[in-house]
Amino acid sequence: MTENKLVKPRDYYFDNAKFILIFLVVFGHLLQPFVAEHDSVRILYSMIYTFHMPAFILISGYFAKGFRKSGYLMKTMKKLILPYLLFQSIYSVFYYFLLSEDRFSLTFLDPEWSLWFLLSLFFWNLMLYVFSKLKPVTALSIATLIGLLAGYVDSIDGYLSLSRTFVFFPFFLAGFFLKKEHFLYLQKNAAKIIGGAIFIAILAIVLVSPGLDEDWFLGSKPYGEFVDAKVLGLLMRVLIYAISFAAIAAFFTFVPKRQFFFTKWGKNTLYVYLLHGFFIKSFREAGMSNISYNFETFFILIVLAFSLTALLSTNIVTTIVQPVVELRINKIKNFLQRSKSFSHESY
């Protein structure tokens, strides 16, 4: 007789964090068309971008501790590279029809929309094979130095997502070296007070810096795109690193530990990330930027972002999309068989 293996329960804390972050990704993309014309939107947008993707990346690094396990690299490639190639192709077709382009263009070297994350995440996992052998302080120092020096390369941009790969790697590496007790400390009441103070301080920095380009937080451009003196760009990126790490810590102090109705959706963030761009692009092409922005618009965008995030996180969506993403023909057959059985039972 075989023994029943105890199933380790999911950590509600990280599922909550991931759902909140993917909601902010969708919400931030909905806000983007209004940034240039409205200071209040620019401030909110900048605040979101100080931590939402860096925190996502840090969580990815935290859960990459088993990268040395047999088959991990192949599994990671299947989970990241296959969806990247598939959705890169789909986006090219989507843009061709949506934007009524004159010719069809497909390239796998310049990630479309938000697909850069899949490519960079694969590279970060590869880089662990080298950086994990170093002491945490040494590894993080080298990774940060590489991120700072990357801004001096004028040709670095979206190509193979190299800029973001190097600039955001310190967040991934920090997550890899973090332990559970670090997050337990951030869950204490005293930490919440400090976290609140940090967010207030960051808000003050954004308020007194109206010339602060929110694109600094994207990590996708060289210094030459922002300033003439590149040394100023380096100093600016040092400040951005400091702000983002502080904002990440502050964010985790406010993530709830218990289970909520949205907690279960936190395990499906990849599907939201892959699919939400089709809706956002369609909204923008439909004339979203022409909409008058006011408090009602802000409320509608929040509801729309939450609804879209929730919809794309549901089991029915993931059940349909997962076989396509992972190219599992047997899952497609099983889904069709279940659908067929259900339709027969309905009569």
SS3 readout for 70-137:
CCHHHHHHHHHHHHHHHHHHHHHHHHHHHCCCCCCCCCCCCCCCCCHHHHHHHHHHHHHHHHCCCCHH
pLDDT (average), residues 258-280:
94
For 270-322, write each residue's pLDDT tens digit.
999 999 999 998 888 887 767 888 989 999 999 999 999 999 999 889 888 88
Please compute, for residue 51, the number of CA atoms within 13 A of its CA located in the half-sphere on the CB side. 24
Banded pLDDT at 9 (limits 50, 70, 90): low
In percent, the amount of the chain with pLDDT more than 70 equals: 90
Residue with tokens 């059940």: 319
Give which of 165, 136, 137, 132 is closest to 66, Cα–Cα.
132
Query: 43 Cβ partners below 8 Å, 6+ apart?
Result: 203, 206, 207
Record the pTM: 0.90
As a whole number of angstroms, the distance between CA 23 and CA 288 comes to: 19
Check: CB of residue 158 under 8 Å from CB of residue 220. Answer: yes
CB 98 within 8 A of CB 104: no
Burial classification of residue 265, based on how many CB atoms lie within 10 Å of its CB (0-12 exposed, 13-18 middle, 19 or more buried): buried
The 10s digit of each residue's pLDDT in 320-347 is 888 777 665 555 556 556 555 544 444 4
Q: Are 250 and 199 in contact (CB under 8 A)?
A: yes
